[in-house]
Chain A
């Protein structure tokens, strides 16, 4: 079990992490999600032992890691562009960690071919790194990281350099491999889809602090802050003040803004939302319709699954179901 408490860390004199607490259970896959500069990579590097904490404790199974050096932690780490050793073959790359742990040669050979089978690299052992495609390199990096059976496997934007299709395919594969191995994993990404596809728990970070944390479903259902909503890609985020002025529904309690989920709308003669259709885009099973409210509010996006689809210029009156109205705190940047 990885426990981080009261962690503070700096990167070149700038505080990158402020007093952070986080616990990762054995076998759990945790994604650190956030924009660049939010401190997620620094957190990972501190856990790996590549950076030092300015304050706080990082421990594994109640052992304080402060005095345990990088190479003795028994963690695995995979970088964005893989950091494969260009002077070693595929096999030799994968064997590196095992060699460092002074495993006997036959064992190394067996483990290397085992791991290569897991990641689907059979027959590539003699290749040099330069001969591999991006996806293959990614697999080598994964194989190299899992070969010594690390207690904790860490990923620093491992798919960042690949194109979207490849990324989607590999995320699924990666998820399967991680669950099969039952490895504890800490995964850093700025891509929410990647995080949601992989993680048991997503930790959304902002400016060196945890903004919100929870299962993908929880986060998706209930972003707590305006930043979380924006970063997760929610639309129709309206200041409370504006919403009230327009007479739109506002939930009880303390809130700074309201998110209206685009798919919660339906047509209604008595709806609180009024506006003219300014654009509509076909999206397979639904249309995305942009309406420009007559009131002093910004445009709203609405997912339309009913017939007939509103025409351009048509005036619409809409209502929204209560579950699709989410209060969030925090102001626009």
Chain B
């Protein structure tokens, strides 16, 4: 009897509880989440799952042998350890060196700032082969600087800083440039010295942006491939390099799969730590228009800080780029535009197969499509992640970051065996190229947009809803205008990722379409002064195009809150 009543009571309570659940909200959330979920499932989970499963369970049952081998083999453990620590050190070093840059570029008004802000992004897109040429001619054997850093951890760190400087400057500077300067002043007036004010007030408030930047830099360094191969010398091996060797060269899928699982676990561990760190305390910030934050450097101290940072950028970023420019202009007759003239003369080299303008057009088309896909999928995902903080959205967030932290070869070979039938048979379809780019660009878009979405005052949404706006309408009227510009910056990153074709995209089997990076690879795969010179010239073209894309983004970066 009693039990029956209790049961009835419980059922009643359950019904009541179910009534209070916001079913409409959940349904709406799921509907918005469906597209990014489908995207990540089809273009990441399914392919990577397929190749890993094929490796671990060639006969349908899991063989733990290779996993055991990976865990016990001292060489492989050594590789995993090196991968982890070099990525951690790279992340810390990049943050340390780029934080002052982020401050200077977001707080000081000076002539040529937009140009510099655009220019620091250029390294991000340069193929590692080309960067390798620049770095080795500076600090390689017989390099111009007189020290041979090749094979040392130093040159790896410097290269990772070179590549990731912009990530920190953009992500952290974006928030920093809108942080109320009076917070730090209040702390100063309360007796905090500069360092205390920074450590106790500014740093905690920058936490979301620092976390976001750190996670991207870490993943980038964790899966570093070209930098390690070319600059690290043959003795330095990361998981990424080993997975490549086991998969592409030895076809040792079981070991490759076990390594890939190790890599994924490592990445997931880091992402979980990251989301814990982010979640410790979330604060709504009163973001200020950048006009309230920026000032012209007037005092000697400020000018020195600015000068020191510009000098650092010049040394770290622009000297290697200048080396490439100089190489592209150095002909046998002295300095000149000979290689550029050859680029515009379609008959100059047989290696390109197509006119350079065609390669440029292809690159730009792919960049545009990739940016649109990344923006659409990433925008939806960011609204979910940024709108509500819960365990589910955190998992979702971590999931969407994974492509950046997964071996390019694993993804590439996964595409090969998974996307092979029906409408998903994309192996010979052109669309596979921008799709792969979008997959890698997704984390950039999300990381740029989420902090902005989180900064939107919920009162705005609620008042819009009270005024009779449906959820979709609320999003369109309130969220969209505010996030649109952040989205644009995200799209800029996506376009840069696509133009540089880094990460997973390099190993994806694809139709023979010549893009700028492909053309550069081809030129560098042939002997001859002309090929080398033209490769350098083409790299400069790629640099200039990226610079222009980023300048375009700068142009839209008006001074109000909600822009990066």
Interface of A toward B, CB cutoff 8 Å: 10, 12-13, 48-50, 52, 69-77, 79, 81, 83, 85-87, 96-97, 100-101, 128-130, 144-145, 148, 154
Contact = CB atoms under 8 A, between A and B. Distances in A.
A100 B182 contact: no
Contacts, number: 87
A208 B185 CA distance: 23
A96 B187 CA distance: 8
B286 A100 contact: no
Given A130-B283, A130-B284, A83 B191 contact: no
Interface in B176-193: 180, 182-183, 185-193
Given A13-B296, A83-B182, A71 B188 contact: yes
Interface residues of B, number: 29
27 contacts: A12-B298, A13-B298, A48-B189, A49-B189, A50-B185, A50-B188, A70-B185, A71-B188, A71-B191, A71-B193, A74-B191, A76-B189, A77-B186, A79-B182, A79-B185, A79-B186, A83-B183, A83-B185, A83-B186, A86-B285, A96-B187, A96-B190, A96-B200, A100-B196, A101-B191, A144-B186, A144-B190
Contact of B283 (A10, A52, A74, A87): A87
Contacts of B283: 86-87, 128-130
Contact of A100 (B190, B204, B295): B190
B296 A12 contact: yes
B190 to A, nearest CB: 3
Interface string B265-306: 000000000000000010111100000000110110000000
Interface string B205-216: 101000000000
Contacts of B284: 86, 130
Nearest to A100: B191
Contact of B183 (A76, A85, A97, A130): A85
Give the 3 A-B residue pairs with the shortest CB-CB distance, closest first. A97-B190, A100-B191, A77-B189
Contacts of B285: 86
Contacts of A74: 191
Nearest to B193: A71
B153 interface: no
Nearest to A45: B185
B223 to A, nearest CB: 32
Given A77-B185, A81-B286, A97 B180 contact: no
Contacts of A86: 205, 283-286
Given A85-B183, A87-B205, A148 B193 contact: no
B190 A148 contact: yes
A71 B198 CA distance: 13
Given A13-B298, A79-B186, A85-B183, A69 B193 contact: yes
A12 B297 CA distance: 8
A237 B518 CA distance: 79
A243 to B, nearest CB: 45
A12 B286 CA distance: 24
Contacts of B205: 85-87
A13 B109 CA distance: 13
Contacts of A128: 283
Nearest to B280: A87
Most buried by B among A74, A75, A85: A85
B201 interface: yes
B191 A148 contact: yes
Contacts of B194: 71
Contacts of A48: 185, 189
A85 B183 CA distance: 7
Contacts of B204: 87
Contacts of A70: 185, 188-189
A48 B186 CA distance: 10
Contacts of B281: 87
Contact of B201 (A73, A85, A97, A154): A85
Interface string B293-333: 00110110000000000000000000000000000000000
Contacts of A85: 183, 186-187, 201, 205
